[in-house]
Chains A and B, each alone.
Chain A
Amino acid sequence: MRRASLLGTVRLGINSLMLHKLRSILTTLGVLFGVSSVIAMLAIGEGASEEAQEQIRKLGSRNVILRSVKPTEDVVSGGEATRVSSYGLTDFDFQRVDQTFPGVLRAVPVRQLQQEVRLNDRALNPRVLATIPEYVSVTGRPTSEGRFLSPEDQLRFANVCVLGYEVARYLSPFETPIGKRIKIGADYFTCVGVLLPRVPLGSDQPTPGADVTGEVFLPMETARRWFGDIQVKIRSGSRDMEEVQLHEIIAEAESDEAVPSIAAAAREMLARQHKQRDYEVVVPLEQLLRAQETKRIFTIVLSSIAAISLLVGGIGIMNVMLATVTERTREIGIRRALGAKKRHIVTQFLVETVVLSIGGGLLGIALGLLIPVLVEKFADMRTIVTPAAPLLAFVISAVIGIVFGLYPAWRAANMDPVEALRHE
């Protein structure tokens, strides 16, 4: 009944560890911090990478985005010079992409206007984008109410606009803006729809005007008629005029496989057509792959750090166990004289080591799960604890106990009972 059962041995082991509470606690600290830092770092890393990937995915992983970029040599350096700089993507580029590129499902041109948007006494400066109805399907942003721009709007040069969620909330916080006449620049446009927010909003607070990064959409043809191609920016005393036909061309590929060839074709076409580098080609899929690669490297680095800290923790445990074995030489001798077999001694010390390391591991898991919660709360960073992380940490701490406990236990078991009994 009282034979050397595992449970009994575990109980005995805990008793022995309790004789030296402080030493036992200090010994577990190595594993505790190792395990908790593994979990916490993985959670923070996972959260950061997930956030990055989500942002890229929002751009559309099948999309290739061509953007106008103001060439650096064209920057006006102060002075009163009033000049028109002409650069960027052209309608011609758009037609090439849309009509001649193989693998392109559809392409969408986007023009960005510098205009104030106002409803009654509320005004703000969001991104005013002129585009075509296909924009929503390419970017995957459905309307929350009303409709998006339609082909008829294009044909009839209709004075309509669609508001982004944040803009709608700011301009008309208490009732739907649909049907209202929104003043954009000097002209009035009827609101026909509101888009869903990019991210689900946590709070119901209307966003303050200055911070609004929302968007307002106009039909491309209507915008061209009212606002022309030339944008005037007034900047620290100088008037800076720009002529940009298109700010963005978004090409959606038929499949993921077509993305690289479209990107290559776009780069080649632009390099040939443009005398200066006034464009950039953004491929979210490439960024996604790069982000995944970064995450992989990040994980390897984290794992190495974790492995080293756990190794240090394990060595700490082994060190203490070796000291314990020496200190308890006499007890080992007594137990051997009273009939303990070598395996009983091995089990006894191994159980103590494993209890130490698993104890440290469990505390480490608790701390490791707490840290991400605190980080999220106080550092406002996203963290993701995957279920595998605590599980892995637990298994690792158990393995550490066994690996680093084996040698001290082996040493204890192989002591000569006569010598051990003589030990003071």
Chain B
Amino acid sequence: MGSGGLGSATAVAELRDITRVYKMGGHEVRALDGFSFTFQKGEYWSIMGSSGSGKSTLLNLLGCIDRATTGSYRVRGEEVADLDDDQLSELRSREIGFVFQSYNLIPQLDVLENILVPLFYQDDPPADGEERARALAERVGLGSRLGHKPMELSGGQQQRVAIARALVNDPAIVLADEATGNLDSKTALEILALFDELHAEGKTILLVTHEAKVGERSERTLKLRDGRIDEVRDNRVGLAASGNPG
């Protein structure tokens, strides 16, 4: 079950004293306020919190599509603050796998092409990218739908394509933003089962959700409130763990 134990693990995402301040109509909003945490390789976390707690901001920072106002964020040891826009994009294409609530497949591309998009933008893409994409499509159960356009697939199928896409670049972290939010409960369970399998294979998964039931499926839960850590819970034993200083 991953390398969940303290100390023995490798850090894939380290956040130190992260502050993210938005300017909204003259006054400042501190979406994250001195946030520090470390996610280890192979962990399966759910990130929870009410709206405005800063979980979306944290997700954007973790996904490198937003930058912290102050503080340090390292992905596999690489400091994000030092990167320019191109380098940050390259980092996303190599180390981040996104799964969105509304699947966000590109409508004019077929399944195989959609899975390949992150590799398409890498500076030095792997030679076996297409084999990898085919294998992943097979893995999520869509091996026979490679030539289909997103419109021709059900919501659950689209989300499977999105998960395959999030894995094609063998990322440091898979970020899932309300990944089951648009799905009926049966399909949602299937997707969550898929995440369980991926976790069993050693993938690092961070699942942002506001649904307690979804959160409970993960290994551990990180609860945010007002831009700070409110609670860290280990779902395997159902006990609240003490704060994780990283």
* Residues on A with beta carbons closer than 8 Å to the beta carbon of B120: 2-4, 8
Q: Which residues of A contact B100 (CB under 8 A)?
A: 334, 421
Return the contact of B93 from the options A330, A339, A421 (Cβ within 8 A): A339
Pair A338/B130 contact, Cβ less than 8 Å: no
Cβ contact of B65, chosen from A330, A337, A342, cutoff 8 A: A337
Count of B interface residues, CB-CB < 8 Å: 32
Please name all residues of chain A whose beta carbon is closer than 8 Å to the beta carbon of B185 when the two chains form the complex: none
- Pick the contact of A338: B66, B117, B125 (CB < 8 A): B117
Q: Which residue of A lies closest to B60 (CB)?
A: A418
In the complex, whether B54 has a CB less than 8 A from a CB of chain A is no
> Is B116 in the interface zone, CB < 8 Å from A?
yes
CA distance A343 to B169 in the complex (A): 20
Q: Which residue of B is nearest A341, CB measured?
A: B89
Contact A1 B121 (CB under 8 A): no
The residues in A between 4 and 23 inclusive whose CB is less than 8 angstroms from any CB of B are 4, 8, 12, 15-16, 19
A316 within 8 A of B: no
Cα of A15 to Cα of B113 in the assembled complex, Å = 12
- Given A342-B86, A421-B65, are A334 and B125 also a contact pair (CB < 8 Å)? no
The answer to the question of A417 belonging to the interface, with a C-beta cut-off of 8 Å to chain B, is yes
Number of A-B contacts (CB under 8 A): 78
Cβ contact within 8 Å between A1 and B165: no
Q: Say whether B85 contacts A342, CB under 8 Å.
A: yes
Complex CA gap A169/B95 in Å reads 90
Complex Cα–Cα for A340 and B96 (A): 12
Q: Hey, which chain A residues are within 8 Å of B125, CB to CB?
A: 1-3
Complex contact A2–B116 (CB within 8 A) = yes
Candidates B66, B108, B130, B169; contact of A15 at CB < 8 Å: B108
Q: Smallest Cβ distance from B239 to chain A, in angstroms?
A: 35
* Residues in B whose Cβ lies below 8 Å from that of A19: 107-108
B98 contacts partner chain A, Cβ-Cβ < 8 Å: yes
Inside 8 A of A344's CB, which chain B residues have their CB?
Answer: 121
B63 lies within 8 A of A337 (CB)? yes
A15 partner residues in chain B, CB cutoff 8 A: 108-109
Q: A336 to B108, Cβ gap below 8 A? A: no
User: Is B155 in contact with chain A by the CB < 8 A criterion?
Assistant: no
| A221 CB-CB contact with B under 8 Å | no
Taken together as a complex, chains A and B put the C-alpha atoms of A16 and B106 apart, in Å, by: 10
Encoded as 1 (CB less than 8 Å from any A CB) or 0, chain B from 56 to 77 comes to 0000100101100000000000
Nearest CB in chain B: distance from A141 CB, A: 69
A2 and B130 contacting across the interface, CB-CB below 8 Å: yes
Query: Given A1-B127, A335-B117, A341-B89 in contact, is the A418-B122 Cβ separation under 8 Å?
Result: no
B119 at the interface (CB under 8 A from A): yes
Query: Quick one: which of B109, B122, B127 contacts A339, CB cutoff 8 A?
Result: B122
Q: Is B94 positioned at the interface, with any CB of A under 8 Å from its CB?
A: yes
A2 and B119 in contact, given A331-B106, A339-B92, A340-B89 (Cβ under 8 angstroms): yes
With both chains docked as a complex, state the minimum distance between the C-beta of B117 and any C-beta of chain A, in angstroms.
Answer: 5
B-contact bits for A12-53, CB 8 A (1 contact / 0 none) = 100110010000000000000000000000000000000000
Q: In the complex, how many angstroms separate the beta carbon of A118 from the nearest chain B beta carbon?
A: 82
Q: Does B118 contact A (CB under 8 A)?
A: yes
Contact of A341 among B85, B117, B119 (CB under 8 A): B85
CB distance from B97 to the nearest CB of A (A): 9
- Which residues of A lie under 8 Å from residue B107 when comparing CB positions? 19, 331
Asked if A340 and B98 sit within 8 Å, CB to CB, the answer is no
The residue that A334 contacts in the complex, of B89, B96, B106, B108, with Cβ under 8 A, is B106
Q: Which residues of chain A are within 8 angstroms of B66 by Cβ–Cβ distance?
A: 417-418
A331 to chain B, nearest CB (A): 6
Q: Chain A interface (Cβ within 8 Å of chain B)?
A: 1-4, 8, 12, 15-16, 19, 330-331, 334-344, 417-418, 421
Known: A3-B122, A339-B118, A341-B89. 9 other contacts (CB 8 A): A1-B129, A331-B107, A337-B65, A337-B98, A338-B93, A339-B92, A340-B93, A342-B89, A418-B60
Sorted nearest first, the 5 A-B pairs with minimum C-beta distance are A339-B93, A339-B121, A417-B65, A341-B89, A339-B92
Pull 18 A–B residue pairs with CB atoms less than 8 Å apart, ordered by A.
A1-B129, A2-B116, A3-B120, A3-B125, A8-B120, A12-B108, A12-B109, A334-B100, A335-B106, A336-B89, A337-B65, A339-B89, A339-B92, A340-B121, A341-B89, A343-B86, A344-B121, A421-B104
